[in-house]
Amino acid sequence: MRGNGIVSLSVALIFALFAQSSQAQDATEPGALNKLFGSETAASGGKRTPFGRAEMELSFAPLVKETAPAVVNVYASKQVEPQRSPFMGDPFFERFFGMPESPPRARSSLGSGVMVDPRGIVITNYHVIRDADEIKVATSDGREFESKMLLKVEEVDLAVLKIEAPTPFPALKLGDSDALEVGDLVLAIGNPFGVGQTTTSGIVSALARSHIGVSDFGFFIQTDAAINPGNSGGALINMSGQLVGINTAIFSRSGGSIGIGFAIPSNMVRAVMQAAMSGAKSFDRPYIGAGFEPVTAQIAEALGMERPYGALVAKVEQGGPADEAGLKPGDVILSLNDAHIEHVDALGYRLATQTIGAKVRLTLLRQGETKQVSATLVKEPESPAAAALEIGGNSPFAGATVVQLTPRLATKMRLPTQAAGVAIVELNRTSPAAKFGLRPGDIVREVNGQEIKSPKDLAQAAGQQTRRWSFTVERGGRILRQTLRY
């Protein structure tokens, strides 16, 4: 799958091991190397740069032997209906041209997965098993198993499978992805291009990457891995042999690796895994009852902040956890449980990895002063399913299907959680709505001077007997106005 340079594929993270420095090769005395690199400090957490050729030549083999057996291959297949006859079922033409009925065919995909529990619990990417009718798991010792789907969560691109065997499976322990630092060594294990299990090494290139178009939670570990097709769902391992990420996507203009890969942090994996093992059939996100927006440079300047960071409280729902905690519109969330909030996506990720009922500590900025409040997260209140309405008639909106936005629907559509109004969810490709440039995700604000608050309002406005149209839509936070004759 390719779009905007982002490729979600079944890939293993392949890391280019850093080159040996010529000074390090020539230096033989530890003292000289200490002077060259500097000694370890408390701030580094005991981590240090490798000293000399001997340390650079240390092998990852013991770590690979310990962890590789827990990485599996995932085979997903789907029955695809044959293409319909161009003769629309007419028996005369089908007999004349000899058009036999084609049987359904199987379409397969290949990915990787990670055993995270000896009882046969496997984590992989949602996009590896999307729409599959049958999913098989092959272990590193050559055994193959039918799998059962426990939970799939499209929003975070994760799925949890279960396989059965008389004896326990080798499994990896989940590490704390929040403990990762840029520059940490990591191993990646998976099945690139289906060639067989492959182990590679590299470093953590960056943390908290967002807006890469893979899932609703933009918070990824970036690596310099040479990730290639065939390895989504593979394991990202730290030097303690713990799983710290699930390899998911690369940035690429050709489909091959250019050294920019992304992995879902293990703390998100843990949240989904716990939900699956509890028997949940859906991933219920903890709910705080507030909407948030990015802190722009202009907002930061107005609030007296040195630079833009954090998440701006845009809306507080009455009676919700945020309201009870005392949050107010205009507050800026700076940290959650002492974890720094750099941007609004980081807050969404931090909340999603909490459990329902958890009490979180928020540090916020209000009127130039820093405050701390506590909020207890709850399960999101059930809201009635949004009724979709297709706009007919002879207007620029004909052929558009619209719904009333709810916070859950806004999140699913990757709109701001506080977004409200009437959103386009589907378009007929040959309709006037598509012709005039409307898109799924557009929020219709006004038509011919009439404010649009509900799908019914839009249907009434679109039914006007006129050829002159002016309307306003919100797209990606921008207000777009158009005037036309139709």
Active site residues: 127, 157, 232
Amino acid at 7: V
CB atoms within 10 A of CB 435: 14
The C-alpha atoms of residue 249 and residue 212 are separated, in whole angstroms, by: 9
In this structure, are residues 49 and 41 in contact, taking their beta carbons and an 8 Å threshold? no
Instruction: Tell me how many helices (H) and strands (E) the chain has.
Output: 13, 30
- Please give the span between the terminal C-alpha atoms of the chain, in angstroms, as a whole number: 37
The C-alpha atoms of residue 355 and residue 376 are separated, in whole angstroms, by: 10
The C-alpha atoms of residue 344 and residue 417 are separated, in whole angstroms, by: 11
The C-alpha atoms of residue 462 and residue 456 are separated, in whole angstroms, by: 10
The C-alpha atoms of residue 38 and residue 30 are separated, in whole angstroms, by: 11
The C-alpha atoms of residue 429 and residue 435 are separated, in whole angstroms, by: 8
- 107: β partners: 78
Q: Which residues lie closer than 8 Å to 263 by C-beta, 6 or more apart?
A: 13, 220, 221, 223, 236, 244, 245, 246, 247, 248
> What is the full DSSP assignment across 334-369?
EEETTEE--SHHHHHHHHHTSPTT-EEEEEEEETTE
